[in-house]
Amino acid sequence: MNYNLPMPSLGADMDEGKIVEWKIKTGDSVKKNQIIASVETTKSVIDIESFREGVVMNLLKSVGDVVHVGETIAIFDILGEEILDQKEQRIKVSPAAKKMCEDNHIDFKQMIGTGKEGEITLQDVENKLQSTKVEKIFSGKNLRQAIASLMSRSKKEVPHYYLKKRIHLDLLMKWQDETNRNVDPSRRLLTPVLLMKAVINSLKKYPEMNGIYKDENFAFSTNIHLGFAIAFKEGGVLVPAILDADAMSILELNAAVLDLITRARDGHLKSRELSEGTFTITNIGDLGSDEVFGIIFPPQVALIGIGHIRKEPIIDSQDLVRAGFVVDITLSADHRVSDGILGAKFLNEIDKNLNSPSSLG
Amino acid sequence: MNGEDIKTYFKEIFAQVAPEVTFEKIDMNMPLREQIEIDSLDFYKIVVALQKKTNVYISDSQLANFKSLNELIKFILSQSPQDLPLNLSSSGK
């Protein structure tokens, strides 16, 4: 059975998109979530994924074509369509989720439930709403305006508190040197990745920092989708997330960071990466600033700032002064969800991880 | 391998990693990041490419000490002969 694949909306302000590249051709089998094309919107290029499985019958648009949202760009032969039709008849959706869908004009038949036996839950709908909001922000016609709007909202709505901790890094740098010396140069571990890994490990112990705040409630996230701020040379910042960063080894995380930065620059971020972050790290140290007190990226509830790694005088356990590597790590957190005591413990846990570097591997 | 060889490596690497930079305009005695706009990914790529070209390992903690490209070149030259590149013949030198 044929399925007309429409140009998707990658944000409420998107009226049209330009096809930059097809990743499929006629006759290809397409799996669910497979990247099928790159589409240029007003601000960036985004890879679009297929939400159906099937075989490509025809590509109706060519590279360079500008296509209105909703217009058919390809035709798929959907495998097992009759079965799908029957399945759609008995989609399970909780009453609360159904009401929220109705209130927000969402077609729940287009959603995938994560509840028991595939039931669409309230959380699924909230995730969908969150995703739509962030996509809207990202695809706005002026990234500067989008940043202004989001950051203003955060400072207005979120009662931030801030903490700073200076962490000694001599052990970490020594461990990194020993590790990098013995691997192929292309597998060198980046210093910020080691800090990220320490934060991820600490988030597992302090889940109050990882999740989203919505409707006066905080929802923990069982996964850590680690957002990190990427600045562009031409100006502006995006915060894509490494999805399921908690399941990655240090080497996998290193590769994922390099991949994400490269794709952000090339305009090949996926929409999920821009909408599902549960925690953010911002690293200002590259530019020499010693500390950054960041603004929380709503609806997240905390952010870690990394300053410049540098040598400073350190008083050791013998009260002797020596030169050692230090970094100032800052925490910006939402006081509606956590208190300073918890924040301080969280920073202590990061310190502990960074000073037990072999546990990062 | 001498200082000019390493400078040539730098030129080749910059042409790949940061093609927008005119290498000849870089002051070899000034901090790099005060002269051109490169981010941590560019820097990472430069260091990895340099290690592949020269076979000299430079740790992140050592990199933090270098104030200019000339200091970096001196460091590479100071490494023991056995650390010299295996791929000089393919470098065009």
Report ipTM for this prediction: 0.77
A173–B contact, CB cutoff 8 A = yes
Residue A299 preceded by cis peptide, ω within 30: yes
Q: Dihedral (C-alpha) A60, A64, A68, A71: value to the nearest 10 degrees?
A: 10
Which range among A177-186, B51-60, B71-80, B82-91 shows the weakest confidence by mean pLDDT? Answer: B82-91
Give the residue from B22, B73, B10 showing the smallest Cα distance to B46: B10
Last residue of a domain, one of A105, A139, A173: A139
Same domain, A83 and A218: no
> Where does the pLDDT of residue B80 fall: very low under 50, low under 70, confident under 90, or very high at 90 and above?
low
In this prediction, residue A218 carries a pLDDT of 94
End position of a domain, from candidates A139, A172, A197: A139
Task: Please report whether residue A153 resides in a domain.
Answer: no
Do A116 and A52 belong together in one domain? no
Higher pLDDT, A122 or A249: A249
For residue A69, the model assigns a pLDDT of 79
What CATH number does the domain containing B66 carry?
1.10.1200.10
Q: Which domain holds residue A337?
A: 158-360
The answer to whether residues A179 and A289 belong to one domain is: yes
**What is the model's pLDDT at position B89?**
35
Do A252 and A180 reside in the same domain of the chain?
yes
Nearest chain A alpha carbon to B59: A177
Residues A238 and A346 in one domain: yes
pLDDT tier for residue A205 given thresholds of 50, 70 and 90: very high
What average pLDDT score do residues A244-265 get?
93
Q: In a mutagenesis test of the B interface, which of A188, A234, A263 is the best target, namely the one with the most B β-carbons within 10 Å?
A: A188
> Are both A53 and A164 inside the same structural domain?
no
Q: Please tell me whether residues A349 and A237 are part of one structural domain.
A: yes
Most confident of A330-334, B44-48, B67-71: A330-334
The reply to whether A190 touches chain B by the CB within 8 Å rule is yes
Q: What percent of chain A has pLDDT over 90?
A: 46
What total number of domains does chain A contain? 3
**Nearest Cα residue to A27 out of A74, A63, A72:** A74
Q: Is the pLDDT of residue A7 over 90?
A: no
Query: Which of A181, A191, A258 is opposite residue B57, by nearest beta carbon?
Result: A181
Which residues, other chains included, contact A335 with Cβ-Cβ below 8 Å and sequence gap of 6+? A159, A160, A161
Residues A318 and A296 in one domain: yes
| Cβ–Cβ contact A309 with B under 8 A | yes
CB contact under 8 A, B59 and A188: no
Minimal CA–CA distance to A13: which of A194, A153, A155, A137? A137
Q: What is the CATH number of the domain that holds A112?
A: 4.10.320.10
Domain of B82 in residue numbering reads as: 3-91
φ and ψ at B19, to 5 degrees? -60, -20
Higher pLDDT, A222 or A266: A222
Q: In terms of pLDDT, which residue wins out, A252 or A131? A: A252
Which of A108-122, B49-63, B73-87 tops mean pLDDT? Answer: B49-63
Q: Residue A155: CA atoms inside 13 Å, Cβ hemisphere, count?
A: 8
The mean pLDDT value for B10-36 works out to 87
pLDDT for the residue A82:
46
Q: A106 and A250: one domain?
A: no
- Residues A308, A170 share a domain: yes
pLDDT bracket for residue A90 (50, 70, 90): low
Establish if A145 belongs to a structural domain. no
What strand order describes the sheet that includes A35-40?
Answer: A66-68, A16-22, A35-40, A45-49, A269-270
A255 CB near a chain B CB, below 8 Å? Answer: no
**Cα distance from A23 to chain B (closest Cα, Å)?**
26
Distance from CA of A177 to the nearest CA of B (A): 6
Question: Chain B interface, mutation test: which of A177, A178, A230, A234, most B Cβ atoms within 10 Å?
Answer: A177
Answer whether A286 sits within 8 Å of B51, measured CB to CB.
Answer: no
CATH number of the domain that residue A31 is part of: 2.40.50.100
Q: What is the pLDDT of residues A100-122, one digit of tens each?
A: 877 776 777 767 777 777 788 88
Count: domains in chain B: 1
Query: pLDDT (tens digit, 9 = 90+) per residue, A270-301?
Result: 877 877 899 999 998 877 899 999 999 999 99
- Answer yes or no: is pLDDT of A237 > 50: yes
Per-residue pLDDT at A166 exceeds 90: yes
Q: Are A325 and A256 part of one and the same domain?
A: yes
A6 Cβ contact partners less than 8 Å away, ≥ 6 residues apart: A69, A70, A71, A72, A73
DSSP A300: B
CATH of the domain at A253: 3.30.559.10
In angstroms, rounded to a whole number, what is the distance separating the alpha carbons of residues A289 and A8? 41
Give the residue carrying structure tokens 């990226």: A297
Question: Does residue A257 fall inside a structural domain?
Answer: yes
- Name which residue leads in pLDDT, A260 or A150: A260
Same domain, A79 and A104: no
Which sign, positive or negative, has the C-alpha torsion B18, A196, A234, A67? positive
| Number of C-beta neighbours around residue A157 at 10 A | 13
Task: Please report the pLDDT score of residue B64 as a whole number.
Answer: 78
pLDDT band at A84 (very low <50, low <70, confident <90, very high): very low
The chain B residue lying nearest A230, using CA atoms, is B39
Q: Is residue A205 domain-resident?
A: yes
Give the pLDDT score at A10: 65
A195 contacts in chain B (CB < 8 Å): none
Which pLDDT does position A139 carry in this prediction? 44
Higher model confidence: residue B43 or residue A325?
A: A325
How far is the C-alpha of A321 from the C-alpha of A361, rounded, in Å?
A: 31
Q: What are phi and psi of A331, to 5 degrees?
A: -120, 125
Length of chain B: 93
